[in-house]
Amino acid sequence: MDTNLPPEILVRVEDLKVYFPILKGVFQRKTGDVKAVDGVSFEIFRGETLGLVGESGCVKSTTGRAILQIYRPTKGKVFLEGKELTALRKRDLQPLRRRMQMIFQDPYASLNPRLTAGQIVSEPLEIHRLAKGKEKQARVAELFKLVGLLPDLIYRYPHEFSGGQRQRIGLARALALEPEFIVCDEPIAALDVSIQAQVINLLYDLQERLNLTYLFIAHDLSMVRHMSDRIAVMYLGKIVELTESNELYNMPLHPYTQALLSAVPIPDPDLEEQRQRIILKGDIPSPANPPIGCNFHTRCQKVQGICVEEEPVFREIKAGHRVACHFAGE
């Protein structure tokens, strides 16, 4: 493979917006919008893992679901290998769903308790009419082995599995249609620490073996660094910084990124004692009424007059490093 060739873009997102209407009164009159995702643009290269991080409530999961068209965007475009998903009707979108799947955050809520593990994994094969009978059973057994589960477990129900095993079942279901792109929506958040590393290693091994592309959504910055090639930092519905993983950790440019990374523990006690913690004051503003100008200015320690008046442009400070801050790079 020629490493000088530019990476191939598999997923491209352009000015993505997802607004939810605020309805009040007996007649459910619309009085405003919750601006959940508010003008997000980025690309995901084939074979890479793009990490998406931020505080709880910054709508990372909504972004992932909008990319897969589980939530239909209010505005903007999403492309899968050059094909615009946002322009397709549901009927035309279904064949493309084979190429993009999702692993959900809660392994306890994302599996139907009335179905056996084998039925859960085989359901996508039935919906897309890819296999039936003995061929379907063989494919399910193969998927169980692929994610590290014994094929004998296909007749058990979800409540008979541990959290880590349930997440493996969810992963097997996602892999059933042989997708190219998988949104991992905080796949380890509900798991014990001892199990998290096993799931992460499994995701990494499967990516190498099957040439998968991941959007890895998480709030655990240390785990995201281990998993991701590039990282996008999200705040209040907008991406404020995007760059390579090591670059972000070694030289964060946005004040919000700097605050997040200051909270990540360092194994060296001497370095941990020397470094300065950045404590953000206040709560994330309401997405129904976001601040004018930079949406981070209400909590930023470096705020100046222009931050209150003008929204910063999401610009490239240097090759591959984009930041939405008026003073980044100065």
Instruction: Quote the CA–CA distance of 318 and 260 in Å, as a whole number.
Output: 22
Residue, of 192 and 236, whose pLDDT is higher: 236
Listed ranges 173-177, 198-202, 281-285; the one with the highest mean pLDDT: 173-177
Residue 175 pLDDT greater than 90, yes or no: yes
Q: Are 58 and 37 in contact (CB under 8 A)?
A: no
Confidence of residue 4 (pLDDT cuts 50, 70, 90): low
Instruction: Quote the CA–CA distance of 317 and 329 in Å, as a whole number.
Output: 6
pLDDT at 144: 96
pLDDT at 301: 87
Residue 181: how many CA atoms within 13 Å on its side-chain side? 21
Which residues are within 8 A (CB) of 12 and not within 5 positions of it... i.e. 6 or more apart? 43, 44, 77, 78, 79
Instruction: Quote the CA–CA distance of 168 and 154 in Å, as a whole number.
Output: 12
pLDDT one-digit tens code per residue, 122-169: 999 999 988 888 999 999 999 999 999 999 999 999 999 998 999 999
Confidence of residue 184 (pLDDT cuts 50, 70, 90): very high
Confidence of residue 330 (pLDDT cuts 50, 70, 90): low
Which class for 167: exposed (0-12), middle (13-18), buried (19 or more C-beta within 10 A)? buried
Which class for 156: exposed (0-12), middle (13-18), buried (19 or more C-beta within 10 A)? middle
The 181-185 sheet, strands edge to edge: 100-103, 181-185, 213-217, 49-53, 230-235, 238-244, 321-324, 314-318
Residue 188 pLDDT greater than 90, yes or no: no
Confidence of residue 1 (pLDDT cuts 50, 70, 90): very low
Confidence of residue 194 (pLDDT cuts 50, 70, 90): confident
> How far lies 300's CA from each of 94, 232, 254, 255, 257, in Å?
43, 19, 10, 7, 11
Residue type, 172: A
Residue 273 pLDDT greater than 70, yes or no: no
- The DSSP symbol for 132 reads -
Residue 2 pLDDT greater than 50, yes or no: no
Residue, of 270 and 197, whose pLDDT is higher: 197
pLDDT at 145: 95
pLDDT one-digit tens code per residue, 299-319: 998 899 999 999 999 999 999
Domains and CATH numbers, the chain: 9-91+223-324 (3.40.50.300)
Which residues is 20 bridged to in the sheet? 34
Confidence of residue 5 (pLDDT cuts 50, 70, 90): low
Dump the DSSP string for 32-97: EEEEEEEEEEEEEETT-EEEEE--TTS-HHHHHHHHTTSSPPSEEEEEETTEESTTS-HHHHHHHH
Q: What is the pTM of this model?
A: 0.91
